[in-house]
């Protein structure tokens, strides 16, 4: 999946910003079909999946959450689903769908706060151990300069990111592939832009952990960490080092480079 799409997704990661205002008109069937096919095949971990819903139900998105804004007008949506303990996996696969949507010219915005959980759950036809962690509007975003959205992203400080010295201390000394990984991870979206991911290097592997065990806004930090894991992997691969994520005691996961 990443082998095939890595470069496109890395480029999309650099361009993506959250969009909250949409044209009501549906997107072309061929575009939706392409994204749908990706969503259907996106199962690198058994425990997480993404669903494209062609008709976003009225009332799915619900007003203000913190400093971010409400979402309006989206004809379609994504629903990010997984087992209760699979937040990181859900973040990873959800972001793959978001980056593919970006590459296809569609606007998105992760929404893990105020959305109708009942509506999302019923769209996803949940299995017994599953829940919907987040949703995203999907469609053609309205023009960039719409005043309300400009104000909104100023409030959300969309483009502001913590420095590498905070999210990956010492990374100036890391090999080029690992630095490329954390630079890509730095651009990842997170709930209220909290950027809870912290990277460290031990031996030849890169570890990801959350900055604390305390979740804020009732959105798991592991969800954000999973999103950043996909970005890290895209950056590392772009610098010539593919690899795989493994469990790591006391951390969210460890990135182990493929032997070269």
What are the residues binding ligand FMN (CB under 6 A)? 17-18, 20, 65, 68-69, 109-114, 134, 156, 158, 189-193, 219, 223-224, 227
Alpha-helix runs per DSSP H in 157-220? 164-167, 176-186
Asked if 234 contacts 240 with a C-beta cutoff of 8 angstroms, the reply is: no
Q: What is the DSSP letter of 240?
A: T
28 CB neighbour count, 10 Å cutoff: 10
Based on CB atoms, which residue is closest to ligand FMN, 108 or 171? 108
Asked if 236 contacts 181 with a C-beta cutoff of 8 angstroms, the reply is: yes
In three state form, how does the secondary structure of 92-118 look? HHHHHHHHHHHHCCCEECCECCCECHH
Minimum CB distance to ligand FMN, residue 69 (Å):
5
Based on CB atoms, which residue is closest to ligand FMN, 47 or 68? 68
Based on CB atoms, which residue is closest to ligand FMN, 34 or 162? 162
DSSP string, 149-199: HHHHHHHHTTT----HHHHSTTGGGS-HHHHHHHHHHHT---GGG---EEE
Based on CB atoms, which residue is closest to ligand FMN, 53 or 188? 188
Minimum CB distance to ligand FMN, residue 202 (Å):
26
Minimum CB distance to ligand FMN, residue 67 (Å):
8
Based on CB atoms, which residue is closest to ligand FMN, 153 or 241? 153
Q: What is the DSSP letter of 211?
A: S
* Short-list 114, 112, 131, CA closest to 122: 131
Minimum CB distance to ligand FMN, residue 257 (Å):
26
Minimum CB distance to ligand FMN, residue 157 (Å):
7
Based on CB atoms, which residue is closest to ligand FMN, 219 or 254? 219
For the chain, what is the radius of gyration of the CA atoms?
Answer: 17
Minimum CB distance to ligand FMN, residue 226 (Å):
9
């Amino acid at each position: 999946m990443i082998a095939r799409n890595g470069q496109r997704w890395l480029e999309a990661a650099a361009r993506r910003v959250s969009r909250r205002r949409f044209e009501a008109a549906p997107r072309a069937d061929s575009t939706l079909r392409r994204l749908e096919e990706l969503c259907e095949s996106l199962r690198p971990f058994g425990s997480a999946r993404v669903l494209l819903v062609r008709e976003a139900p009225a009332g799915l998105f619900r007003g203000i959450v913190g400093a971010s804004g409400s979402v309006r007008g989206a004809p379609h949506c994504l629903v990010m689903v997984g087992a209760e303990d699979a937040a990181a996996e859900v973040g990873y696969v959800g972001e793959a769908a978001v980056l593919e949507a970006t590459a296809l010219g569609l606007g998105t915005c992760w929404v893990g706060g105020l959305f109708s959980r009942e509506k999302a759950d019923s769209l996803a036809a949940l299995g017994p151990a599953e829940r919907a962690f987040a949703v995203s509007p999907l469609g053609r975003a309205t023009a960039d300069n719409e005043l309300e959205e400009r104000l909104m992203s100023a409030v959300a400080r969309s483009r502001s990111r913590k420095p590498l010295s905070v999210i990956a201390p010492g990374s100036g000394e890391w090999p080029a592939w690992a630095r490329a990984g954390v630079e890509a991870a730095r651009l990842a979206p997170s709930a209220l832009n909290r950027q809870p991911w912290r990277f460290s290097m031990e031996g030849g592997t890169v570890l990801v952990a959350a900055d604390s065990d305390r979740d804020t806004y009732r959105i798991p930090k592991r969800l954000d960490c999973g999103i950043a894991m996909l970005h890290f992997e895209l950056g590392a691969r772009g610098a010539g080092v593919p690899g795989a994520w493994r469990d790591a005691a006391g951390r969210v996961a460890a990135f182990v480079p493929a032997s070269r």
